[in-house]
Amino acid sequence: MLKMTHLSKVYRTEVVETYALRDFNIDVKEGEFVAVTGPSGSGKTTFLTIAGLLETFTGGEYHLDNIEVSNLDDNARSKIRNEKIGFIFQAFNLIPDLNVFDNVEVPLRYRGMKAPERKERIMGALERVGLASRAKHYPAELSGGQQQRVAIARALAGSPRLLLADEPTGNLDTQMARGVLELLEEIHREGATIVMVTHDPELAARAQRNVHIIDGQVVDLAEDPRFHTAYTAAAGQVRG
């Protein structure tokens, strides 16, 4: 579903080159629920933005749903984002001027879908996240957890092949975070492929597989002696 091979992302200024990702390799199979963890500045978000075609990369290869995306133009990338990827952001990123229904409708409109089908999908997605009764509410009238559920409904409405979640519970309190996480697990059980970037070890532990990024590279904490202590401690916390 998502395969990056020797991928690199370099930010260049006049005086310095900074590698956000270096020789980055990852392979996410269809139906997997993968948590991507790592310290701040490790490259997690860069990975997610490249995975979501929000940014281009500097070198290497990236296949998304068997499509090599490096040579796609802006319109083709927009189309793939619209049809194959669902985004869940830490800050929810709902459009404050639009009500819940219209927010969920945004990606479907860009797909050129007819109104009756849009309505059916929107209401289906809202029912799925338990917010059908709030369709006419504006984001400001909802709690953080509800807003994130709307964002999940927006991501689900287009039936994407891949869900990318960036710290989906980062702005929520524990109870709301638990609700959102359970929803993601449910969606995964129904067959969705989910890649979730998180700081939260508890959240990461709920995923099927963990991928750790350090200094722009995927590392196996268990195998790498440099991080062995830290990994054991982190694993201990999770297990505890």
Partner 1 sequence: MQIKPILAALRHHKAGTLLIAAQIALTLAIVCNALFIIHARLVRLHQPSGIDEASLLVIGNQWAGKPGSDQMASLMAADLDTLRKVPGVANVYATNTFPLGNGGMALGVSHSPDKLKSVTTSGIYFADENALATLGLKLVEGRNFRPDEIGQLDRQGYVKPDVVIITRALAALMFPQRSAIGQPIYISAKPSIVIGIVDELRTPWVDTSFAKWADYSTLIPYRELTPIVQYIVRVQPGQLDEVMHRVRAALYAANRLRVISPKDGVRSFAQVREQAYRDDRGMAILMSGISVILLLITGAGIVGLTSFWVGQRRKQIGVRRALGATRHDILSYFLTENLLIAVGGVVLGGVLAIGLNLWLMKQFELDRLAPGYLLAGVVTLLLLGQGAVLAPALRASRVPPVEATRSI
Residue ranges in contact with partner 1 by CB under 8 A: 45, 48-49, 52-55, 74-75, 78-79, 81-83, 87, 89, 91, 93, 95-99, 102, 105-107, 109-111, 154, 158, 166
Minimum distance from residue 212 beta carbon to partner 1 (Å): 20
| Residue with Cβ nearer partner 1 (58 or 93) | 93
Can you tell me the distance from the alpha carbon of 136 to that of 98, in angstroms, rounded to the nearest whole number? 9
| Residue with Cβ nearer partner 1 (33 or 87) | 87
Can you tell me the distance from the alpha carbon of 238 to that of 182, in angstroms, rounded to the nearest whole number? 17
Minimum distance from residue 80 beta carbon to partner 1 (Å): 9
On whether the CB atoms of residues 177 and 148 are closer than 8 A, the answer is: no
Alpha helices in 85-220 (DSSP H): 100-110, 115-128, 144-157, 174-189, 201-205
| Residue with Cβ nearer partner 1 (109 or 226) | 109
- Token look-up 């929520």 returns 172
**Helix crossing, 144-157 with 115-128: angle to 10°?**
140
| Residue with Cβ nearer partner 1 (3 or 79) | 79
Minimum distance from residue 91 beta carbon to partner 1 (Å): 7
| Residue with Cβ nearer partner 1 (88 or 203) | 88
Ramachandran angles phi, psi of 139, nearest 5°: -50, -40
Minimum distance from residue 2 beta carbon to partner 1 (Å): 17
Minimum distance from residue 49 beta carbon to partner 1 (Å): 5
Can you tell me the distance from the alpha carbon of 231 to that of 226, in angstroms, rounded to the nearest whole number? 10
